[in-house]
Each structure stands twice: as structure tokens, then as C-alpha cells.
């Protein structure tokens, strides 16, 4: 039987698991900076965003629907950007009338702006970038409260940190179900989308070559995190979930994972805050070293 290949533009197809190696190969060449250019995003959100896939000028094109917009994610690959974006804009106009090309990395956005495209900044979609050594050491006054929370957590609870493997994925699924019940995520669109993404990543943990860690207390998973390599210097954290009945557990899973799993990387990308004030405050409190800035093109 012939192996499935990604169809040529303007034809699109659903995102098959058979495409994983082809997608991964293109990403390895690109060495991306943004979270949307990762297998975890593509396979985690393929159902939520109704993603479909195509090939254009040697690049990978993702088409979907998000927040009321017909959407094309910025192409994966850096070949012929002006021609590629022009074709994507025409495709949106011809097929949907209006829409958006989103998650455009800053370097690509600047190149397109120089060619006459109108780019708009998307602050809510900026990825937060952190220095791994800072997350390990938590040195200085700016991290004092977080270090206190971790120290108190370590004194108060009899815990175990475990590297994620297939044996404890079912326990992570149980915690995710509990989290979803507490957050009423089946009733709220954004939390329901997040829940479906987390389940997709947990259920495809090995196939997507993810890695991560978990905190067990009394033999039960009470926190877990899911990551993958984004590029040679940067890990990408997709998911961090914890049972907040245990004070300091979020700070603990963050620091333990940085120390035990991320020392080979210089940076970790912890994705965006989607404009949610509480999440923005939490992400800023860890003192990012910078952002993976993103832009979009409104097609009208």
C-alpha cells in the first residue's frame, strides 16, 4: 500500500498520523521559534481547530478555524515567503471571503512588511521564553516567594518526582479528568478546547516523541507536565497541570522539571497567555528573558 503524503496546494486533507515524519522533517529543517510550529500543536489541536494540511512551494500549510476566523497558520518552512503568503491570501478570499493568516514569526513578518504586506502585532499570542538556568536556580529576590513555596511544599508533603512514561500516562489522564471537572471545562469553550488538546497529547505521548515529568503524592499523580523539543536550544512546554489542594505544587513541578529534564537546553518556550489577565500575571512573574513575537494578516 502506498504511503500517504501531504497533498499539493490548493488541495487539503485531514492530518493523518502517517504525516508525522514528513512534518517533523520540515520542522527539523526550520528550527522553529514559535509554539504553533510543533507536532504537539498540530496534533494536539487538529480536531479542536479543524486543521487540514497541504504543501505549497515546499512549505507546509495548515488551514483551520479559530475564534470566528477562517485561519491559515503561518507556513512551516521558509521557502518563497512572498509567493507563498500571496497564494494563501488568495485562497482565503476565493474560498471564504475573509479570514486571517496567524502566528507569523517576527522575522517572517518583517520580511513581508518590507514587501508591502500589512502586518498586525498579536501580543496575546506571544510565546514566553525563559532561561532554563534561572528556572532551575530561582536566585535572587524576584524569585524569593516561589522558592519559599517550593521549600514548604518539599517539607510538607511526601512526594516523588517521576519522568513520564507510558506506565503513568493513565494516572495523568485521571488527574486531567479531575481538573476538567473542577474547572467546568465541558461547559466553557476555551477550557474544553484545552482539555481536548491535553487528552490528544497524553493519548499520543509516545508517537509524538513528547517528554515530561509528574509529581506523585501517596502514589497518585497530582501534577504533570508535557514538553517536546522545539529547536536545538529550546524546549517547548505544552501542558502543566496540578492539583492545587497541594500548596506550591505548580511552582514545584516547574522547578523540578527544569532541573531534571531541561538542563540540556538553554531556553524553554512556555507558550502564550491568550490575553487572560491571570495567566499573563503568572507568566510574567517568572521573569521571561523575552518573547517569540507573532503577527497576523487580516484578509478582507
201, 226 in Cβ contact below 8 A?
Answer: yes
At 291 the three-state DSSP class reads: strand
121's enclosing H/E stretch is strand 120-121
Rounded Cα gap, residues 172 and 131, in angstroms: 27
Give domain status of residue 294, yes or no. no
Which pLDDT tens digit goes with each residue over 51-98?
999 999 999 999 999 888 899 999 999 999 999 999 999 999 999 999
Rounded Cα gap, residues 209 and 85, in angstroms: 30
Same domain, 50 and 101: yes
What domain range includes position 27? 13-124
Across 241-258, b (16+ Cβ under 10 Å) vs e yields bbbeebebbbbbbbbbbb
Rounded Cα gap, residues 193 and 210, in angstroms: 20
Give domain status of residue 282, yes or no. no
Which pLDDT tens digit goes with each residue over 6-27?
999 999 999 999 999 999 999 9
Same domain, 137 and 263: yes
Residue 1: the pLDDT is 34
Which pLDDT tens digit goes with each residue over 94-106?
999 999 999 999 9
pLDDT at 2 over 60: no
pLDDT at 255 over 80: yes
Give domain status of residue 7, yes or no. no
Nearest to 293 by CA among 121, 95, 165: 121
Across 227-236, b (16+ Cβ under 10 Å) vs e yields bbbbbeebbb
Which pLDDT tens digit goes with each residue over 110-153?
999 999 999 999 999 999 999 999 999 999 999 999 999 999 99
Q: What is the mean pLDDT of residues 16-44?
A: 97
Residue 225, domain CATH: 3.40.630.30
Which pLDDT tens digit goes with each residue over 245-254?
999 999 999 9
Which pLDDT tens digit goes with each residue over 153-212?
999 999 999 999 999 999 999 999 998 888 777 776 677 889 999 999 999 999 999 999
DSSP string, 146-205: HHHHHHHHHHH--EEEEE--TTTHHHHHHHHHHHHHHHTTTTSHHHHHHHHHHHHHHHTT
Same domain, 103 and 213: no
Same domain, 164 and 262: yes
Rounded Cα gap, residues 181 and 93, in angstroms: 41
Q: What is the number of domains present in the chain?
A: 2
Same domain, 161 and 86: no
Amino acid at each position: 500500500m502506498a504511503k500517504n503524503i501531504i497533498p499539493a496546494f490548493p488541495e487539503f486533507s485531514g492530518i493523518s498520523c502517517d504525516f508525522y515524519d514528513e512534518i517533523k522533517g520540515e520542522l527539523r529543517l526550520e528550527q522553529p521559534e514559535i509554539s504553533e510550529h510543533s507536532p504537539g500543536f498540530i496534533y494536539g489541536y487538529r480536531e479542536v481547530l479543524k486543521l487540514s494540511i497541504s504543501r505549497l512551494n515546499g512549505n507546509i500549510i495548515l488551514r483551520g478555524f479559530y475564534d470566528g476566523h477562517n485561519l491559515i497558520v503561518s507556513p512551516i518552512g521558509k521557502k518563497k515567503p512572498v509567493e507563498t503568503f500571496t497564494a494563501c491570501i488568495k485562497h482565503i478570499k476565493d474560498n471564504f471571503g475573509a479570514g486571517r493568516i496567524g502566528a507569523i514569526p517576527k522575522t517572517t513578518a518583517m520580511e513581508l512588511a518590507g514587501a508591502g504586506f500589512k502586518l498586525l502585532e498579536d501580543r496575546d499570542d506571544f510565546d514566553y521564553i525563559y532561561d532554563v538556568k534561572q528556572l532551575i536556580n530561582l536566585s535572587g529576590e524576584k524569585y524569593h516567594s516561589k522558592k519559599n513555596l517550593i521549600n514548604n511544599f518539599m517539607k510538607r508533603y511526601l512526594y516523588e518526582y517521576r519522568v513520564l512514561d507510558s506506565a503513568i500516562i493513565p494516572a495523568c489522564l485521571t488527574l486531567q479528568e479531575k481538573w476538567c471537572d473542577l474547572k467546568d471545562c465541558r461547559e466553557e469553550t476555551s477550557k474544553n478546547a484545552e482539555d481536548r488538546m491535553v487528552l490528544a497529547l497524553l493519548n499520543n505521548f509516545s508517537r509524538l516523541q513528547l517528554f515530561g515529568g509528574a509529581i506523585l503524592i501517596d502514589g497518585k499523580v497530582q501534577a504533570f507536565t508535557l514538553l517536546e523539543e522545539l529547536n536545538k536550544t529550546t524546549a517547548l512546554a505544552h501542558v502543566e497541570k496540578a492539583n492545587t489542594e497541594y500548596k506550591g505544587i505548580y511552582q514545584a513541578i516547574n522547578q523540578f522539571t527544569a532541573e531534571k529534564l531541561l538542563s540540556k537546553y538553554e531556553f524553554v518556550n512556555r507558550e502564550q497567555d491568550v490575553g487572560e489577565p491571570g495567566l499573563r500575571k503568572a507568566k510574567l512573574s517568572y521573569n521571561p528573558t523575552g518573547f517569540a513575537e507573532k503577527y497576523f494578516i487580516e484578509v478582507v
